[in-house]
Each structure stands twice: as C-alpha cells, then as structure tokens.
Structure 1
C-alpha cells in the first residue's frame, strides 16, 4: 500500500503589520502575496514562494514572539529547504536582502544562511551538505 504524502508546511507568524511583512518578503525575498484580507488595513495574509508559504496575522493586542526570544538556543522560526542555497543567496543579495548569518557550511552539516524579518522571525534557507 502506498503511503499518503505531504508536500509542504506553512508556519503562522504573528506580525506587527501585515503590509510591512508582505513588502519585506516580496521585495527582498521574491515571495508573492497569495492572500490579503481585508484590502484596507489587512490583519491576515498569505505569502509564498514555490512550496514555501507563511501565514501572517496581526493583532494589536498580541506582539510577535520569535523563538529566539523564548529560548536562546531556538534561533529558527522556519527552515526553508533550498536545493541551491548559493544561487538563492545571490538572488537575495541582488534584491538588497541582508543576512543575519551569511551563507556558509554549518557545524551541524548544513549549507545555508539566515535572514531575520522585520518582526525578528529567523528563517534558515538551505539544505544538508
């Protein structure tokens, strides 16, 4: 019997402002806006690039809380698998993205880089070496 498969996972980030988050991911990382509601002053959105997708929600009474603020050893909020992290890093640099950790081979057998978004969420883009 063939096992059912899954193809992606979409983390949900609480953000300070949906439009600001959409602009960052679109302009710096090449993500597309897949959903935004409502049109004026949105409180929810979906952004994605290929199979990577993030749901974003803002609420004036709830502040963003990236993992590293909860526990210093839990740096990443998302791992984005990138088969060619070198090419992806070059594209991001061309769009003015700044890395919080530059492209490198890590001590734990990965090759990739980290980017921190405007609310402090840390995304690792890379793959096993």
Structure 2
C-alpha cells in the first residue's frame, strides 16, 4: 500500500474545498465541474475526498460516536484523520495566522509525537503531527 484517502461527507463541497484550499493550503486534484458534489484535494502527499449527498443530515464526525459512547467527553483525540507533517511548528503558526479553528494547541504528547488539532467547517477534526524522534 502506498497511501490512503479518507472521504468526508460534507454539507457543501464548494465550502469545504474553499476552506481546505484557502486556509489549509490544499490543491484541487479533481472536482466535478457541472455539479460539484465530489472533490479530491491534495497537499504534500495527503489526499482527502469530499462527498456531498443528495439528502442532508449525514455529516457525522468521529467526535459524535466518541462522545455518545462515553469514550471521551470532548472532541479531544476524536480525530477523523491524523496527518503526518515535517515542519509542525511552522504549519501550526500558519494555521493560527489563517484563523483556523485550533481545538488543541501544539504540544508534545505522551505517545511521542508533537501535534495539534483543528476543526473544519463540518466538524471534522484533523490532527497534524510529527514524531518527536524525527
């Protein structure tokens, strides 16, 4: 296996694409031109797909079942994706400068990574991290 591309169900593909390209720096790999209900975005080897369904109400970030099941009482570590990066501190500052919703500030973790968490407009939580050993 070489890579993985999670697919997020979103309320509005165009709004998601705008957030990920303008705020997070992703590039559009592919998006349907006539009826944009699906898009593929990439940045530095990370790929995320977005799907807008015909019916509303199906957006379900991982935090919801985490909280409902009693696993966590907050969004902490209820990631929808963990994205490995090289320049973690630079990326963190760039996201802060772009007013991205940071829900866990950058920190060294007990599991040996330095990471931080953001929330996208649909409530998906992305954790960006780097191994402290690297």
TM-score (norm 2): 0.84
- Aligned: 1:117 with 2:117: no
Unaligned runs of 5+ in 2: 72-76
Give distance in 1, aligned partners of 2:17 and 2:23: 10
Q: How many residues matched?
A: 123
CA deviation string 1:80-102 (max 9, x = no partner): 00122101112222333231111
Partner residue in 2 for 1:65: 60
* Alignment partner of 2:16 out of 14, 21, 24: 21
Partner residue in 1 for 2:39: 45
Runs of 4+ in 1 over 3 A off after TM superposition: none
Unaligned runs of 5+ in 1: 1-5
TM-score (norm 1): 0.87
Partner residue in 1 for 2:2: 7
Secondary structure at 2:116 match in 1: strand
Give distance in 2, aligned partners of 1:71 and 1:112: 20
Aligned Cα root-mean-square deviation (Å): 1.5
